[in-house]
Structure 1
Amino acid sequence: MLITVSGPPGSGKSTNAAGLADRLGLDHVSGGDIFREMAAERDMTPVEFNEFAEEDPQIDRDLDRRLHEIATTRDDLVLESRLAGWLSADHADFRFWFDAPVSTRAERIAEREEKPVDRAKAETERREASEKKRYREYYDIDIGDLSIYDAAYNTARWGPERFIDVLVATIDAYDPATDEGKAPIEGVSYDF
């Protein structure tokens, strides 16, 4: 089973994807972790690295190629990244979108990265604008188009343990006999 988890920064992707993978006995791969490692290798913050990626498209393409390859060749996995749902093409069994109010997301990021909330919020908004522009330019992906996802959740409504219960219940309730088809991924240029 391949499950993708996507959403904006601070939406709870990493926490909940890891918890879901653990609960289901699946592997977990985090695009955000890979991105942060790439930034650290260059002594940059994720925001600085995002802005650098605007100037060097190969950074996004390298990360996205790697995630696309994982999504299309592996199984028994929860793949989590901003574009995981899109990059999985039609290979994902479930595509989830997580979100939360920007104030909540900024608080989560501020706590994780030990910085003031207002700074986290400003950086997050810059980062989102940067990524939105690049995804459209590189792959013709509208990150705001949630039509490809099987379910979208506001993660601020549940704590992590309860939210994982919600996700597991969603997966458990799935009946292939009544499945009328997942949303296809169309019009995307996987030009890595």
Structure 2
Amino acid sequence: MLITVSGPPGSGKSTNAAGLAERLGVEHVSGGDIFREMAAERDMTPVEFNEFAEEDPRFDHKLDGRLREIAATRDELVLESRLAGWLAADHADFRFWFDAPIAVRAERIAEREAKPVDRARAETERREDSERKRYRELYDIDIDDLSIYDAAYNTARWGPERFLDVLVATVDAHDPDDDEGKTPIEGVSYDF
């Protein structure tokens, strides 16, 4: 089963995707980890690299192409990235969207990156604006359109263990036979 996890920075994508993969006994691939590695290779923060990528789309195409290839060639996987649901539209068995209020997400990022909350919030908002612009320009994707997702959750509503219970229950309740003959986003094809 291929499951995608998407959402904005600080929404709990990485933590919950890794936990879900572990509970299901499948592989986890994080687009965010790959993106941060690409930024570090250029001695940039993720925000700086986002803005740099606005000027040079090769970096988005490289990352997104790699993730799309992973989605097309691997089974038994939780693929996590902002665009994972779109990248794996043809192959995903289930697509999750996670979100939380910006105040909660900024606190999570501040704690993770050991920085003040107001700075984390400002950087997160800049990053989201940059990504929203790039996804629209590169792929004509409206990242705020959640219609492709099978389930969307506000991750601020549960603690980590309880939320993993919710995710596993959602996956367990999903019957792939109900999807037969359905194309969730007919005619959508993106050149990543």
TM-score range normalised by the length of the shorter chain: over 0.9
Q: 1:64 to 1:100 in 2, by over 3 A?
A: same
Aligned partner of 1:112: which letter?
R
For 2:174 and 2:69, locate their aligned partners in 1 and report how far apart those are by CA, in whole Å.
Answer: 26
- 1:162-177 aligned at under 5 Å gives the runs 162-177=162-177
For 2:31 and 2:21, locate their aligned partners in 1 and report how far apart those are by CA, in whole Å.
Answer: 15
User: For each residue in 1:54-73, what CA deviation from the matched residue of structure 2 results, as whole angstroms up to 9, or x when unmatched?
Assistant: 11110111000000000111
SS of residue in 2 equivalent to 1:92:
coil
Deviation at 1:13, TM superposition (A): 0.1
Contact 1:150 1:182 in 2 (8 A): no
Partner of 1:46: 46
1:97 aligns with 2:97: yes
- 1:1-192 aligned at under 5 Å gives the runs 1-179=1-179, 181=182, 183-184=184-185, 186-190=187-191, 192=192
For 1:12 and 1:182, locate their aligned partners in 2 and report how far apart those are by CA, in whole Å.
Answer: 28
For 2:101 and 2:110, locate their aligned partners in 1 and report how far apart those are by CA, in whole Å.
Answer: 14
For 1:125 and 1:137, locate their aligned partners in 2 and report how far apart those are by CA, in whole Å.
Answer: 18
Deviation at 1:93, TM superposition (A): 0.4
| TM-score normalised by the chain length of structure 1 | 0.96
Deviation at 1:150, TM superposition (A): 0.2
The unaligned stretches of length 5 or more in structure 1 are none
Identity, % of aligned positions: 81
Aligned partner of 2:16: which letter?
N
For 1:185 and 1:51, locate their aligned partners in 2 and report how far apart those are by CA, in whole Å.
Answer: 32
Deviation at 1:176, TM superposition (A): 3.5
Deviation at 1:53, TM superposition (A): 0.5
For 1:139 and 1:186, locate their aligned partners in 2 and report how far apart those are by CA, in whole Å.
Answer: 14
| TM-score normalised by the chain length of structure 2 | 0.96
Deviation at 1:175, TM superposition (A): 2.4
